[in-house]
Structure 1
Amino acid sequence: MKNLLLALISGVLLAISWPTYGIPFFIFFAFVPLLMMEHNIAKFSDIKRKSLAIFGLSYLTFVIWNAVTTGWLYNSKLPDGSNSLLAVLFPVLTNAFFMSIIFHFYRLYKRSQGTYFGLVFFVVIWMAFEKLHLVWEFTWPWLNLGNVFADYHQFIQWYDTLGATGGSFWILICNVLAFYTFRIWEAGRKRKPLIKNVSMLAGFIVVPMLISLIKYYNYSPKTVGTLNVTMLQPALDPYNEKYQKDSLTIESDLLKIATENSKFVDPNPPEDAKIAPQDIDLYLAPETSLPGPGSISERGFKNSLLINNIMTFLTQHPKSVFAGGISSHYVYKDDEEKPVTASYLERQGIWVDEYNSAIQIIPNQQPEVYHKAMLVPGVEIFPYINFFKPILGDVMLDLGGTTRSLGISKERKVFANPYNKSVIAPIICYESVYGEYVTDYVKKGANLLTIVTNDSWWGYSQGHKQLLDYAKLRAIETRREIARAANSGTSAHINSRGDIIDDLPYGAKGALVAKVNLIDHETFYTKSGDFLSRLSMFVIGALLLFIPGRKYLTRKK
């Protein structure tokens, strides 16, 4: 019962740390009860199957953490309109299982090499696990530890140096130190070592926060210009309107909102100053704004009525650019090489690829397009389709998922504006969760991050709130301002310190008009990326090689 209680306490501490409802400071001790549970069973229990007991209790911890923090996935709807139980059960149970395996690897290494090396292994194996979640097809970095301070961004301004993965490393080190401090006290009950270790732990927690607060209050961005942006929020129900309503009606409503918000008025003008309203430079529409049902042919942009209507709108607003999300497809010619994501439509006799895309439209120019590359598992991509499709068949379709994968852009792309200095990063929804991924836009010259998203699939829940908060991490890591256009909210203007300057609430229909700063300085994190994760994988290799080396030296002695 004691060990069960410890596992429960860890699960609760992890859960109540998470944004946007939690208090993140609990995260520095959240793993300690779990580590104590493992130590108690390994050293003092007479249970026959110790590994199974530890695995089961750790699984309980991680199920609690995953269920509480991502239980909003249950709000996803099935084709018949009912809530999708599988949408929450699969990621919760699967991710908790992966976490338990990682903890079991720590248990095995600790049993082989002792507590000290075991704790080092725990830090680096967890870092490697989080890196895996950033790159493989089952990608789910939602609970990567560095995300936990997204709602308290004033304390993590140093993410511009080490990124969110640096935050994960910080949290893991503090948990290990806290556990080590407790074990030293438990073993010796000596006050002097206790004071020493508590002081060290306090320093590891407090000093980065103090550095961050100093950076926060002294940071002053060096801008290369400004941009007037209108972020459009049509507030379409994603289940009953967005993909069923007539395409021209959707576009007409969108352009009406744009017309009604075609001027920027300074909300805080200088005293006694008469400043005329300024024209909008960029109209930003949310993810898959067009066409509604179906998709737009990329070969037929020139003849698309929807695209030409936007062109006409822009001619009435000179030197303005329209960017946003569309559903698009590309039809391959017979002699063109087809990617693995292409599908053959037997009735039409053609090969076609479908995309979740971002587009930039400028009068008298060919539209530029970028295809979302970080796809949502089960919804936009069938993970490891060649292996799982023969086993699962079309069962994913019946459960509200997909039976194939969308096409992607292999490299990041930026959209330059011919009328000013702005170069925008067309980040699409889920892509905003990936730190190093977003830096690729900046390396290509982006001086403004734009996020187009449709996170109203889960209703008014923690889902869209957490995704908004994660965007603040990207602003800090790259020191870029963000213009975020969401279908139902929350559309927001975020500055390069991670502050939400202004927003349009969830469910509101309209537009958010903002003057955003353009910044071209590259941070250390932009240049180095997740180097702590790569270093951790190197340390894992060294620790694994250490096992046979240590055995050899022991035999030789």
Structure 2
Amino acid sequence: MKNTLLSILSGLLLAVSWPTYGFPLFLFFGFVPLLLVEYDIRKNKYSKAQVLGFTYLSFFIWNTITTWWIYNSTGVGMAIALLVNSLLMTIVFLLYHIIAKRTSFTISTIFLACFWMAFEYFHLQWQISWPWLNLGNGFANFTSWIQWYEYTGTFGGTLWVWIVNIGVFKSILLFKEHKDKAILYRSAIKNGLIIVVPILISILILKTYEEEGKEIEVVVLQPNIDPYTEKYNTTDDRISKLLDSLTTTAISDNTKFVIAPETVFADNNRLHNFPQSIAKRTALKIIDRYPNVNFLSGISLIDVFNNPARIRKQTNIYKEDVFYDDYNSAFFVRPDASDELYHKSKLVVGIENFPYESVLKPVLGDAMIDLGGTVAKKTTQEDREVFFTKDSVGVGTMICYESIYGEFSTGYTRNKADFLAIITNDAWWGNTQGHQQHLYYAKLRAIESRRSIARSANTGISAFIDQTGNIVSSLGYEKRGALQGTIRANDKITFYVKAGNYIARVAIFLAIFIFLFSITRRKKKI
């Protein structure tokens, strides 16, 4: 019973730490009850099945409370996300349990922290990618604590969390062994400093940071179109009139960018016909009235072809000898220049891609999830495209899910983006923590790259975020309108943009080294 309660406590502590309602201080203690459970199982030589059971309980509680809202878009998707992600986290702890039997406390806990970071890193890379609960994201609603993410990225936050959890865990074990309260006092001071000092450093950075770059005026549009009942049952002509109407409420002669949300144009647009599309005509109509404006928007595009030589892994088969590539794209139109496109390249699992299709499709069949529109694999691109104005202001456009990937998003900055745009459609999740967490994760991208962010969300929350991750202004959920803001175009590069997820790479090396070291040793006595 005690281990059950401790496992539940761990899950609850991690859940109440999470944005946007949570308080991240609990992250520093969230794993401690579960570590005590694992230690008890190891000390008493209980079976590995108990480690699996208790650990899975903790992580399932955490995953369910923080990401239950996936159910609003797909019940099957929610079940898979909760069950699989909880299992992956459990496997990390199971391997720690095995290593801890063979090595010292110090080596095994270093392995745990490193292997957890390796897990988070691979969760950013592989085809079943779901990094929503990577620990560094947990500070997204307390950005005054983590201004040093410009040096470390979110893995700095993950490492911070594990250092304190392991320190508290160690002090409890020492106290149980020696019954000396001085151990607890020393631990409270030491771990308190480990928490407080980085926060103080962050506050110092925040107080002394000055926004970089020249000011530019941007308008973001929020058409508030219901994706379930309206979005895919309307015409681009109607969307065009709506966007034009919204633009006129906020635009001025000084406006440099007008930004519309993800796939706002979704009326069977063919890639080769884009120059003649209603979407482009909409942009040109606005530019004709305001010649200084650059128009950026989301669009669904399909490229149908018959040539089998053009088939690639992400190509869809319509029927015999008819194939198509399906794109979730951003298009950019500026005065007196050719059109530019960027195709979304971090895809939502099961909705925009079929992970490990050659292995899973024979087992699951055609298991793509229907959320309206075209049910098909999306086609991606290799490079992070940056769109430039006539006077060389560069904007990197992240489409929806891409904005939760830190190192991925630095590709835009390395390609000379002076600010970042996020175009998204968060309506699938309803008015839940889902769309709010997504907004708050954007604040992390601003800090990592020191880039202002203009966010256009179909149903909200559209916002402007400054280079310190502060939300300067926003347009609430399920409101229709346009938001004008002035942001900075910064061309300076942060250490994190240059180095990427170096902390995770070091952690992977250490985890592999410790694993190989441990399997050559005999089990130690507890």
For residues 454 and 159 of structure 1, what CA distance do their matches in structure 2 show?
27
> Pairwise mapping of residues 452-463 of structure 1 onto structure 2 (< 5 A)?
452-463=423-434
- State the Cα deviation string for residues 378-434 of structure 1 (Å, max 9, x = none): 11111111111111113445798997421001111100011x342000110110000
- State the Cα deviation string for residues 433-474 of structure 1 (Å, max 9, x = none): 000001110000001010000011111100000000000000
Pairing partner for 2:264 from 289, 306, 325: 289
Which secondary structure does the structure 2 equivalent of 1:344 belong to?
A: strand
Pairing partner for 2:218 from 206, 229, 239: 229
Assess, with a 3 A threshold, how the Cα gap between structure 1 residues 402 and 187 changes in structure 2: closer, same or farther.
Answer: farther
TM-score by length of 2: 0.96
Q: Where do 5+ consecutive residues of structure 1 fail to align?
A: 77-83, 264-277
For residues 359 and 248 of structure 2, what CA distance do their matches in structure 1 show?
49
Which secondary structure does the structure 1 equivalent of 2:355 belong to?
A: coil
- State the Cα deviation string for residues 525-545 of structure 1 (Å, max 9, x = none): 111111010001110121123
Task: Report what 2:298 is aligned to.
Answer: 325
Pairing partner for 1:524 from 495, 510, 513: 495
Task: Report what 1:377 is aligned to.
Answer: 349
Task: Report what 1:443 is aligned to.
Answer: 414
Please identify, of 398-407 and 298-307, the stretch whose mean Cα deviation from structure 2 is larger. Answer: 398-407
For residues 414 and 350 of structure 1, what CA distance do their matches in structure 2 show?
32
For residues 128 and 327 of structure 2, what CA distance do their matches in structure 1 show?
19
For residues 502 and 211 of structure 1, what CA distance do their matches in structure 2 show?
26
Assess, with a 3 A threshold, how the Cα gap between structure 1 residues 443 and 467 changes in structure 2: closer, same or farther.
Answer: same
CA displacement at 1:303 relative to structure 2? 2.3
- State the Cα deviation string for residues 343-373 of structure 1 (Å, max 9, x = none): 23337x4432111001101244321000000
Task: Report what 2:379 is aligned to.
Answer: 407
Aligned partner letter, 1:346: K
Aligned partner letter, 1:324: S
Aligned partner letter, 2:271: E
**What RMSD, in angstroms, separates the aligned Cα atoms of the two structures?**
1.9
Task: Report what 2:27 is aligned to.
Answer: 27
Matched, 1:512 2:483: yes
For residues 222 and 286 of structure 1, what CA distance do their matches in structure 2 show?
26
Assess, with a 3 A threshold, how the Cα gap between structure 1 residues 38 and 393 changes in structure 2: closer, same or farther.
Answer: same
CA displacement at 1:314 relative to structure 2? 1.2
> Pairwise mapping of residues 328-339 of structure 1 onto structure 2 (< 5 A)?
328-332=301-305, 334=307, 337-339=310-312
- State the Cα deviation string for residues 147-170 of structure 1 (Å, max 9, x = none): 011001101101011011110011
Which secondary structure does the structure 2 equivalent of 1:243 belong to?
A: helix
Task: Report what 1:65 is aligned to.
Answer: 62
Assess, with a 3 A threshold, how the Cα gap between structure 1 residues 34 and 228 changes in structure 2: closer, same or farther.
Answer: same
Assess, with a 3 A threshold, how the Cα gap between structure 1 residues 333 and 422 changes in structure 2: closer, same or farther.
Answer: farther
Task: Report what 1:130 is aligned to.
Answer: 120
Pairing partner for 2:241 from 222, 239, 252: 252
- State the Cα deviation string for residues 507-541 of structure 1 (Å, max 9, x = none): 11010001111111111111111101000111012
Which secondary structure does the structure 2 equivalent of 1:196 belong to?
A: helix
Aligned partner letter, 1:285: A
Report sequence identity in percent. Answer: 39
Task: Report what 1:241 is aligned to.
Answer: 230
Assess, with a 3 A threshold, how the Cα gap between structure 1 residues 436 and 362 changes in structure 2: closer, same or farther.
Answer: same
Matched, 1:500 2:471: yes
> Pairwise mapping of residues 156-555 of structure 1 onto structure 2 (< 5 A)?
156-223=146-213, 225-263=214-252, 278-290=253-265, 292-294=266-268, 296-332=269-305, 334=307, 337-346=310-319, 349-397=321-369, 404-418=376-390, 420-547=391-518, 550=521
Task: Report what 2:133 is aligned to.
Answer: 143
Corresponding pairs, count:
524
For residues 28 and 373 of structure 1, what CA distance do their matches in structure 2 show?
34
Task: Report what 1:274 is aligned to.
Answer: none
Assess, with a 3 A threshold, how the Cα gap between structure 1 residues 115 and 399 changes in structure 2: closer, same or farther.
Answer: farther
For residues 221 and 228 of structure 1, what CA distance do their matches in structure 2 show?
15
Aligned partner letter, 1:524: F
For residues 27 and 259 of structure 1, what CA distance do their matches in structure 2 show?
45
Q: Where do 5+ consecutive residues of structure 2 fail to align?
A: none
Task: Report what 1:80 is aligned to.
Answer: none
